[in-house]
Amino acid sequence: MDNNIPDRIKDKPADIPKRMKIDSESDSDSEDSESSSLDSSREKKKRKKKGKKAKKGVKKQKKNKQMSKFCQRVTDPWQVVKRYKSVLEFFKRGSNMAEAFRKYGVDRNTIVQNAAIAELAIAAPEKYAEIHEKQEKGEKLSNITQKCQYAIMADENIANIIQTMKTDGKLLPIRK
């Protein structure tokens, strides 16, 4: 029976030659070095991605801080008037309207949409005060703008005053 079994199988683990053990160890060492090099390259890629994300985050934060100086959401009519007057000051200094909007950091359409509030507040403060007194807490600016537009259209005298102020440069020459 013993004669039919190949020599390899007869050998016990203790009988395995040292050369085979060394070969198997070197194989595992090379596998370890390959896997460690793969791991290190993966880690480098991850660190690189994290670095890019961090840089993007920093840039975004800086941009948001810069934009927060100018482009703040306006929620009250007095803020609309203040913004309108600031843009008007830039405009009076000799720049055109597009440049004044850009310097203040606001879009033209934003000013145009709420211009009726500021125009009424500047041209007819007593009429604006009436509308402001009737204003409900938490009322939308769009509703207040509509009320101011109706007040301007209802009174031709106020409309004429606003038109002459626009031609004199006391209001922005916005046409709606």
DSSP state of 172: -
Check residue 115 and give its pLDDT: 93
- The answer to whether residues 52 and 78 belong to one domain is no
Residue 92 falls inside a structural domain: yes
Residue of 79 and 18 predicted with greater confidence: 79
Check residue 136 and give its pLDDT: 84
Average pLDDT score over the chain? 78
Check residue 70 and give its pLDDT: 53
Residue range 39-49: mean pLDDT, rounded: 73
How many domains, in total, are found in the chain?
Answer: 2
- The answer to whether residues 113 and 135 belong to one domain is yes
Angle between helical axes of 108-123 and 141-154 (0-180°, round to 10): 50
Rounded Cα distance between 130 and 150, Å, is 13
- The answer to whether residues 107 and 47 belong to one domain is no
* 50-54, 64-68, 150-154, range with greatest mean pLDDT: 150-154
Check residue 112 and give its pLDDT: 92
- Which structural domain range is residue 88 located in? 72-168
Q: Write the pLDDT tens digit of every residue in 106-154.
A: 889 989 999 999 999 999 999 999 998 888 888 898 999 999 999 999 9
- The answer to whether residues 79 and 150 belong to one domain is yes
Rounding to the nearest 10 degrees, give the CA dihedral for residues 9, 13, 17, 18.
150
Check residue 171 and give its pLDDT: 92
| Lowest mean pLDDT, pick from 7-16, 65-74, 120-129 | 7-16
Check residue 94 and give its pLDDT: 81
Binned at pLDDT 50, 70 and 90, residue 43 comes out as confident
- The answer to whether residues 155 and 125 belong to one domain is yes
Residue 45 falls inside a structural domain: yes
- The answer to whether residues 36 and 99 belong to one domain is no
What pTM was computed for the model? Answer: 0.58
Check residue 96 and give its pLDDT: 87
Binned at pLDDT 50, 70 and 90, residue 54 comes out as low
Rounded Cα distance between 149 and 23, Å, is 91
Alpha-carbon dihedral sign for residues 13, 19, 20, 22: positive
**pLDDT over 70 at 28, yes or no:** no
Residue of 90 and 45 predicted with greater confidence: 90
Check residue 12 and give its pLDDT: 54
